Amino acid sequence: MSTGVNLKELAAELKLSPSTVSRALNDSYEISEATKKKVISMAEKLNYQPNPFARSLRENKSKTIAVVIPERMSSFFSKVVDGIEEITQQFGYHLLVYSTHEDVDREKKIVNLLMNGRADAIIMSVSSQTSDISHLTRLHERGFPLVFFDRICSDIPTTKFITNDYESGFEGTKHLIQQGCRKIAFLMLSKELSITKDRYRGYLDALKQAGLSPEPQLNITCCQDEEQNIEAIKQLLTGPNRPDGILSSVEKLALATYHAVKRTHLRIPEDIKIISFFSNLSIASLLNPSLTTITQPAFTIGEECAKLLMKKLTKPRQPDLPNQLITIPSKITIRSSTIVL
Amino acid sequence: MSTGVNLKELAAELKLSPSTVSRALNDSYEISEATKKKVISMAEKLNYQPNPFARSLRENKSKTIAVVIPERMSSFFSKVVDGIEEITQQFGYHLLVYSTHEDVDREKKIVNLLMNGRADAIIMSVSSQTSDISHLTRLHERGFPLVFFDRICSDIPTTKFITNDYESGFEGTKHLIQQGCRKIAFLMLSKELSITKDRYRGYLDALKQAGLSPEPQLNITCCQDEEQNIEAIKQLLTGPNRPDGILSSVEKLALATYHAVKRTHLRIPEDIKIISFFSNLSIASLLNPSLTTITQPAFTIGEECAKLLMKKLTKPRQPDLPNQLITIPSKITIRSSTIVL
DNA sequence: ATAAGACATGCAATCGTTTCCGTAGTTTAG
DNA sequence: CTAAACTACGGAAACGATTGCATGTCTTAT
């Protein structure tokens, strides 16, 4: 297959020993400048590419990071991965990307496969079904570098990158209240998710501050089937206890809401106002009416995850990843879905 | 780091030689059922995980496929990768995913890095700036398994998976003509792209069939900057030679068109009709008005690429990938952007 | 003139598998 | 009863890189 020259052949060509050539290519002080030059030029000429597996085996590192996300069709996760790649690529690291499809069993399989050292670290956001986290604690206890972002596991003492979920939930709700909403629904993927909990706390506190009481019927837990979600939201909108505002905690549920509204006679924002965590600004402004968004700094989150790991992995004796929660704020952009002109 | 037991330790524990243990785990006929059972249960007990690099080094295969796409924030490419993963995962293969960000220099770097055997094969869609394909021919000439999809290199004799670009371009244009369009613009990313050429041919032939003559000013080549694209399209829409129909050859340009239209007084579909290659059905039907789409079978394309490769890579003596163009048809879904009620 | 140090290079072990080859012990054929 | 053929396993080489140690040559100081 990839039958380029190897170190031994290169050395033979140069009439040097493999060790000398290796050292020359790795710029060792033990090798004279003259031989280094010769070696390097010959390596270029023969297009020598070191075998990554031989190297990985010897050095016990793969120069590979695994990224585990719940889904690919999401502008948030796409941007995070872009951010990660932007940094890791500069360090010559490669990215194994896995999607769990929000399925905890797939997540477990993936994580277990990763324990054999194929990757030097994992950056992940857990699936919405993940409640048993034994697969993750095991990984972490073995000293495997693990970084969470967005949907984190608080119980695992490592570094996590999130946005200001609580504040954003609070401010988003407050904004709806300021626009006159009194009955605000909260849309979520799963009650277990860290982002759900934090955003929901913000939502509750904003209600409380405004003297509004939360109503359990206004909380909708959605599933993986878009059609089902749309129908559930439609039921809510056409039911006896119709909300006048909606805070959607994830992108896809905002889209489901727009679909649901289309199936009713309701108007946005006159009858129902909508705000959502949302990362695709282009789409947000194209929706009809344009969607008021809480924009997460997806790309930056990815970059920060990667920067931290690169620091740990490329420098010699680095400490374990600290048990730390790093918050990068979101930005609320008010558009037409919450403003009656 | 990932300090599990290795084969030698496992063998010592069992008082067997490493070779026997290896054979037992690989279900060799040379090993008695009794020892196989013992070995397997001990391996389970000690949670033995073979070192992937040692194995890769020895077997000269990595059980890894590289996927190279122009961008991650695209429902088409996301779905293709999902399709690929669906298949490869069943065979225990891993996915290295790279984005070129439509940059041919990044593409070259990635491809060159991949030549060292880190992956057993590459599945790719070339960047819009790729005209010099020497990096790809070199790869292919070395016998590296290479599969193209969507944006292909016709000059490289390997298997390529596309949709029926010509027919879809033809039918899409024909649909616009049937709806009364006489001046139809064609939006593309780059003239060099295979998809542009084929879809454009379909467009031209449909015009010809209807007795319409193509106008060069109605072809817009877009760039990577969304704002610039929007302005260019707006110029077209507000200029003296305004089209009454638009065929967009890629998803992102349909969105840019909607943005552009929003900046004018024009109405869709009354003043301007729009049809686009588009993979995000949920978004297409939410746009205002909903977008008539040519939906590419993204997931299936990914699956087919992966199936072909799995067949080649997992069976013993497989021939080279045939020089073959496999077409999986798109489906046109008519929505409001082309229909005046 | 000789010992000591610096410099440049080679030998061989190592990483963890797989697999070729060899060899005891047992069964089968002639 | 002996030769041939199996069966079940062990020893050791190989994959391709890195690196500790050894070695040889050349300066330089005493």
Question: Tens of pLDDT along A122-175?
Answer: 999 999 987 889 999 999 998 899 999 999 999 999 999 999 999 999 999 999
Residue B50 CA and nucleotide D13 C1' are separated, in Å, by 20
Task: Please tell me the total count of domains within chain B.
Answer: 3
Neighboring chain B residues of A288 at a CB cutoff of 8 Å: 286-288
Q: What is the CATH number of the domain that holds A42?
A: 1.10.260.40
| B2 in a structural domain | no
A141 and A236: one domain?
Answer: no
Kindly determine whether the C-beta of residue B113 is less than 7 Å away from any atom of nucleic acid strand D: no
Same domain, B266 and B179: yes
Specify the CATH number for the domain of residue B282.
Answer: 3.40.50.2300
- Per the domain annotation, does A259 fall within a domain? yes
Give the pLDDT confidence of A49-101 residue by residue, as tens digits: 999 999 999 999 999 999 999 999 999 999 999 999 999 999 999 999 999 99
Pair B179, B229 in one domain: yes
Of B2, B54, B262, the CB nearest to A144: B2
Among A53, A78, A120, the residue with its CB nearest the CB of B73 is: A78
Q: Assess whether A155 and A174 both reside in one domain.
A: no
The answer on A171 and A135 residing in a single domain is no
- Let me know whether B169 and B282 are in one domain: yes
Across the interface, whether the CB atoms of A82 and B98 are under 8 A apart is answered no
Give the up-direction half-sphere exposure of residue A282: CA atoms within 13 A in the CB hemisphere. Answer: 20
* Structural domain containing residue A31: 7-50
pLDDT tens sequence across B214-229? 999 999 999 999 999 9
How many interchain CB pairs under 8 A, A with B?
A: 142
Identify, with chain letter, the residue nearest to nucleotide C8 (CA–C1'). Answer: A31
Q: Has residue B3 got a pLDDT over 90?
A: no
A99 to B116: CB separation less than 8 angstroms, yes or no: no
H/E segment holding residue B326: strand B324-327
Closest CA to A22 of A62, A75, A58: A58
Same domain for B158 and B305?
yes
Min Cα–Cα distance to chain B from A69, Å: 12
Residue A228's pLDDT band, with cuts at 50, 70 and 90, is very high
A39-45 long-range Cβ contacts below 8 angstroms, 24+ apart? A39/A10, A39/A14, A42/A10, A42/A13, A42/A14, A43/A10
**How do residues B24-78 score in pLDDT, each as one tens digit?**
999 888 888 888 998 999 999 998 999 999 999 999 999 999 999 999 999 999 9
Report residue A3's pLDDT band, with 50, 70 and 90 as the boundaries: low
Query: What is the per-residue pLDDT across B119-177, written as a single tens digit (0 to 9) for each?
Result: 999 999 999 987 889 999 999 998 899 999 999 999 999 999 999 999 999 999 999 99
For the sheet containing B94-99, what is the strand order? Answer: A324-327, A159-162, A146-149, A121-124, A64-69, A94-99, B94-99, B64-69, B121-124, B146-149, B159-162, B324-327
- H helical segments located in chain B: 7-14, 18-25, 33-45, 52-59, 75-90, 104-114, 134-141, 165-178, 194-209, 226-238, 251-262, 281-286, 298-314
- Residue closest to A324 by CA, chosen among A165, A122, A161: A161
- The answer as to whether B291 is a domain residue is yes
Is the C-beta atom of B6 closer than 7 angstroms to strand D? no
Average pLDDT over residues A100-113: 95
| Residues whose CB is less than 8 angstroms from the CB of residue B139 and which lie 6 or more positions away in sequence, other chains included | B111, B114, B115, B122, B146
Q: B172 and B288, same structural domain?
A: yes
* Residue B212 amino acid letter: L
**Contact assignment for A51 to B144 by CB distance below 8 Å:** no
Q: Which residue has the tokens 């021919």?
A: B137
Question: Do A123 and A75 share a structural domain?
Answer: yes
Shared domain for A134 and A175, answered yes or no, is no
Is A41 in the same domain as A156? no
Q: Which nucleotides of C are covered by protein (CB under 7 A)?
A: 7-12, 14-20
Q: Is position A55 within any domain?
A: no
Tell me if B255 is assigned to some domain: yes
A153/A84 same-domain check: yes
Q: Is residue B1 part of a domain?
A: no
